[in-house]
Amino acid sequence: MTTPHPPALTDRAALARQRARAARRGVELFLHREAAAEIEERLNEVNRTFTAPAVVTCFPEPWREILPQAKIVPDAEVLDLEAGAHDLVIHALSLHWANDPVGQLVQCRRALKADGLLLAVLFGGQTLHELRASLAEAESGLTGGLSPRILPMGEIRDLGALLQRAGFALPVADAVKMTVTYQTAFHLMAELRAMGEGNALAARARRAAPRALFPEAARIYAENYAAPEGRVRATFELIYLTGWAPHESQQKPLRPGSAAARLAEALGTEEKPLNEGPRGN
């Protein structure tokens, strides 16, 4: 008996069309450049010289600037990476669109040499929460229902657990939040399309949206998320995942009972058995 596959989150063909359209019009890469700058800083803090890097990305320009010698591969469902060929793999701002994010990370781990480093960056759950709430309020008020319009994005705790599921050692997840202001919600939505980050959900409604939806959402947005000078604010949460391909030289947790000294001695307190308590007559 075969196990049924969960329904796909992303319409990969629609996503490819959006990215191609964005590239033809001159894609907006400011978030990719922010992510690349952050990762470059993190690499500078690692006491290691990487000689065989690879970057998984749909927009290679910012990553070529920091790693000109890197192999660049698109974020296809099957990554064009050779097993054990790289000492560094960067999964760059596309993992949030993956139908199988654990599978993507497993492929990255297999592409790494022992003790090789993975750095992944993706959008987290706080991203565009203002736009999500405004669209939901507008659509529910106009139609009494909701349509999938913004990609659901993972929370940091859940995303960090993906590293362990994929077999990485020393996993770490952390987040960087950015607040960006726009003239209106329409300008924000136009920039999302320019980044190739429009609605490519497999479950999205194929019919045209009600004509009043986006003006009403923009009104709600301006009312609830105003910024100085008549602008509106938008949150982008970038989550960074760090993991290492396992190697015998890496630190490992101690076995239970292997401590060389008792905690009570270090604290200068009296150690009592766990079962010690009030006794009956």
d(CA 203, CA 7): 9
The pTM of the whole model exceeds 0.75? yes
DSSP assignment of 88-128 equals EEEEES-GGG-S-HHHHHHHHHHHEEEEEEEEEEEE-TTTT
The per-residue pLDDT string of the chain (281 residues; one tens digit each, 9 = 90 and over) reads: 455 567 888 999 999 999 999 988 888 899 999 999 999 999 999 989 999 999 999 999 999 999 999 999 999 999 999 999 999 999 999 999 999 999 999 999 999 999 999 999 999 999 999 999 999 999 999 998 888 888 889 999 999 899 999 999 999 999 999 999 999 999 999 999 999 999 989 888 888 888 999 999 999 999 999 999 999 999 999 999 999 999 887 776 555 555 555 555 655 555 555 454 444 44
Contact of 109 with 117, CB cutoff 8 Å = no
Domains detected in the chain: 12-247 (3.40.50.150)
